[in-house]
Amino acid sequence: MNMPVRVLHVVTKMNRAGTETMIMNLFRHIDRDKVQFDFAVCTEEHCDYDDEILSLGGILYRYPQYVGVNHFSYVRWWNNFFARHPEYKIVHGHIGSTAAIYLKIAKKNGSYTVAHSHGTLEPLSLRSIVWRMYSYPTRHIADHFFGCSMTALVTRYGKKVAHDSRRAKVFNNAIDAALYTYDENARTKVRKELKIIENMWVIGTIGRLSPEKNPHMTIQILKELKNRGEKFKFLWVGVGKLKDEIEREALDSDLADEIQMLGLRTDVPQVLQAMDAFILPSIWEGLGIVAIEAQAAGLPTLCSDQIPVEAKLTEFCEFIDVDNVELWVDKLIEVKDAARKNTYDDIVKGNYDIHNVSKWLEYFYLSKY
């Protein structure tokens, strides 16, 4: 039998986050008799997806985290790795900060290289300036470029690369749309688990508690909603470095009874069924895959105007001024009694269903081998 083409994905760690979940969705649905995923990670910790990766036939390699002062040992590790592993004819890089290093070495060793942008550039800061300096050469190194949106392609690799259809593609962060289709039984079950009373208005969001997700804005929106006399529960799925700070702010804003912090969940499709509206007030996003998931669940989905337009797949999605608390609250009240609808066909039509996208990626890899 012919062995499958082994593709090396270079990531940070395989925990439950947007990029990692997207890769795992692809891994589950691609024909693994033809294409097998392996992963290079820069952590020694046991991560959320590690066991599943191994069960699906993947291999985990652990490379050193790049901290600047270890530049030469970092380069040496990758040189040694590709010298020992000539089987990797395709290397798919998801870590932009050092892609110019490891993709260059991979290419020197005969691999076809893919640079994948999962986000737009952060606002200017010392950290983001250094990141841009390190990542800039990637546009002159990689053989092919993916971006989760056109904005993600342009900001990372420049207009010339982004608009070259032979070398660049907007690669949709696909989901298994059927898993998210509205299910009244799942809604009832999750609401019962969370002790949400019947007919309670439930709003929610999903994402890391970190600056780019704009969690302080979420608190301001909920505070104003309560000031207007609205009764609601807010389901907050996610963890992050701002968790303690946001929980204190919720207490100070008298929102302890309204907000339920759910942490990490493995049943996101079901939790979405329990909601009546979804908000994503991010300051920046490469795409905002959770907005796709929320629409797939038939939810009114309110996104900040900083989220790429590609995120809109249904009539239920609207973009709102990221700084306008009053407008967010107005729109939430406007969709309060919106009826749920099966949006499966909209997700498939928008080419965000994993079955179609994984088939395309399989063909892409095989054509480059």
217-221 average pLDDT score: 97
Q: Mapping DSSP to helix (H, G, I), strand (E, B) and coil, where does residue 299 land?
A: coil
Pair 169, 145: CB distance under 8 Å: yes
Domain 5-174+354-368, what fold?
Rossmann fold (3.40.50)
DSSP code string of 151-212? HHHHHHH-HHHHT-TTTEEE----B-HHHHS--HHHHHHHHHHTTPPTT--EEEEES-SSGG
89-105 average pLDDT score: 95
Q: What are the backbone angles phi and psi of residue 109, rounded to the nearest 5°?
A: -95, 15
- Tell me the C-alpha distance between 116 and 290, whole Å: 19
- Tell me the C-alpha distance between 175 and 205, whole Å: 17
Q: Mapping DSSP to helix (H, G, I), strand (E, B) and coil, where does residue 48 land?
A: coil
Q: What are the backbone angles phi and psi of residue 185, rounded to the nearest 5°?
A: -65, -40
Q: Can you give the pLDDT at residue 34?
A: 96
DSSP code string of 29-45? HS-TTTEEEEEEES--S
Place of tokens 């795992």: 24
40-69 average pLDDT score: 96
Could you tell me what percent of the chain has a pLDDT over 90?
85
Count H helices and E strands in the chain, helices first: 16, 13
Q: Which residues contact 125 (CB under 8 A, 6 or more apart)?
A: none
Pair 176, 354: CB distance under 8 Å: yes
- The sign of the CA dihedral 238, 241, 246, 251 is positive
Query: What's 149's DSSP letter?
Result: S
pLDDT greater than 90 at residue 35: yes
Instruction: Indicate the average pLDDT of the chain.
Output: 93
Could you check whether 5-174+354-368 and 177-349 share the same CATH topology?
A: yes
pLDDT greater than 70 at residue 346: yes
Task: Give the up-direction half-sphere exposure of residue 337: CA atoms within 13 A in the CB hemisphere.
Answer: 1
Domain 177-349, what fold?
Rossmann fold (3.40.50)
Q: Mapping DSSP to helix (H, G, I), strand (E, B) and coil, where does residue 261 land?
A: strand
pTM of the complete model: 0.85
Query: What's 16's DSSP letter?
Result: S
pLDDT tens, 272-303?
999 999 999 999 888 888 999 999 999 999 99
191-219 average pLDDT score: 95
pLDDT greater than 70 at residue 124: no
DSSP code string of 203-247? EEEES-SSGGG-HHHHHHHHHHHHHTT---EEEEE---TTHHHHH
Query: What's 339's DSSP letter?
Result: P
pLDDT greater than 80 at residue 72: yes
Model confidence at 18, pLDDT cuts 50, 70, 90, reads confident
- Tell me the C-alpha distance between 146 and 148, whole Å: 7
72 versus 134: the higher-pLDDT residue is 72
Would you list the domain boundaries of the chain?
Answer: 5-174+354-368, 177-349
Lowest mean pLDDT among 67-71, 220-224, 233-237, 320-324: 67-71
Strand partners, 93: 10, 115
